[in-house]
Every structure is written in C-alpha cells, then in structure tokens.
Amino acid sequence: MPKLTFLSHAAFLVEDEKTSIVIDPFLSGNPLAKAKPSDIKADYIILTHGHGDHFGDSLEIARANEATIIAPNELALYCESKGAKVHPMHIGGAFNFPFGRVKLTIAHHGSAVPDGTYTGEPSGVLLTMDDRTFYHAGDTGLFYDMKLIGEMNQIHVAALPIGDNFTMGIDDAVKATEFLQPEIVIPIHYKTFDVIDVDPEEFASKVQSKGFKPKILEVGESLEY
C-alpha cells in the first residue's frame, strides 16, 4: 500500500516498501515547507513542469540521491544538461517503471525553468504503484478531458490545485473532482503566496456536499491509500 506525504504547495513524497518518489520538490524558498532538500531520500523525482515552485530543489535532490528525474521531454533534457539522470516522457505516454506506471496527462498552463529556459508543455501525472493510482494534476486550469481521465482510470487519490490566480480556483476544482471521481481528493497549491491564499475548508465542504471525500493534509502529514 503506497503512502503519500504532503511536503506543502504541490510537493509530495510517495513511497511503498521498495521505492521513494518525490513530486515537484519545491522546498528552498518555500514559506510553508518544513523539510529541507537534504531530508529527502528519493529514487525518482517526478516534475510536472519547470516553474520554480515545482522544479524547486530537484537538481540538488537528484544529485544527492543519484535519483532519476521523470519529466516532460524538454524539461527532462534541461535537467540532463545540468547533470541529472533523466527519463523523458510526454503527454499521453505511459511507461512501466520498476516501481509502477507513470502516465503524463495534459495540463493547461506554462513551463519555463527559473533561468528563463522554456521547457515545453506542462503536465499532470497518473502514478500507479501497488495497483493504486494517484493523480497529481500539476498546475492547470479546469479542462473537460478530466472527465475522460476519470472514466479511463480508477483514481484512488487526486491532488488538485485550488489556489486560483495561476490555476483552478475552488469552484473549478470542485467541478474537476466531479469529472475525476476520485476516492479521496486533496487540495494543493494554496496559501504559499498571497495571491493564492484561499481556504481549503471551503473546498472540502463543497466537495463533501457533492458526495466526495476531501482530505486536507497538513504539511508533513501522510496518507496511506
């Protein structure tokens, strides 16, 4: 049974008995993060896109752990140019890794790393370990194909941005939950900056009233799924 730990913002550690994966590890300069990059033990790093609040400390963590970075092609090649071991993928493609399956999904957003290098299309991620599927939407606006993602995948946990301004806000994320039909939905990408300071309790009560099970994770809190 995999376990995910919320590292704040859009960052998660996902682990089972054999493998540890960190997603979008933005820790340095993140006002909400409690973990330091040196605290992270990871075999793989999955990046949804290049923005600083997702790319974060990935190169440092990759170097310290000899971890492989899994990312959309342009971003993966950028990481490789900085010395990281990478596995490039792209939207719509899935690959069976030793730990499970990763499929990249569309996300309507942008992608450039902090030095300004453009890094192609952003993505969301379907991560299946031990037959349990975690959907991390990345940064995105609401899109109707989420309905298709929900129809074609049994999603056990979905992490959806709710902070508005850069991504879906609360009401759009409620609609996304209806499209995706996850067993548990976790709000992410809020409070970190003033412009995304929304109340996750509002999201939780709205999805609950539609029959879904929200889980607001505190920073450092874990969930087995």
Sorted by sequence, the CB contacts under 8 Å of residue 126 that are 6+ apart come out as: 94, 101, 102, 103, 104, 105, 133, 134, 135, 149, 153, 155
CA–CA gap between residue 1 and residue 132 (Å, rounded): 8
Phi, psi angle pair for 204, to nearest 5°: -60, -45
Minimum distance of Mn ion from residue 28's CB (angstroms):
15
Options 24-32, 73-81, 132-140, 191-199: segment touching Mn ion (CB under 5 A): 132-140
Q: Taking CB under 5 A as the rule, which mask of x and - marks residues 48-77 in contact with Ni ion?
A: ---x--------------------------
> Does 132 sit near Ni ion (CB under 5 A)?
no
Nearest to 124 by CA among 219, 207, 189: 189
18 class by beta-carbon count within 10 Å (0-12 exposed, 13-18 middle, 19+ buried): exposed
Q: Which of 139, 157, 163, 206 binds Ni ion (CB under 5 A)?
A: 139
Residue 139 engages Mn ion in binding (rule: CB under 5 A): yes
Q: Decide if residue 164 touches Mn ion (CB under 5 A).
A: no
**Amino acid code (one letter) for 146:** M
In the complex with Ni ion, the residue whose CB is nearer, 111 or 177, is 111
172 sits near Mn ion (criterion: CB under 5 A): no
Binding residues (CB under 5 A) for Ni ion: these are 51, 139
Binding residues (CB under 5 A) for Mn ion: these are 53, 139
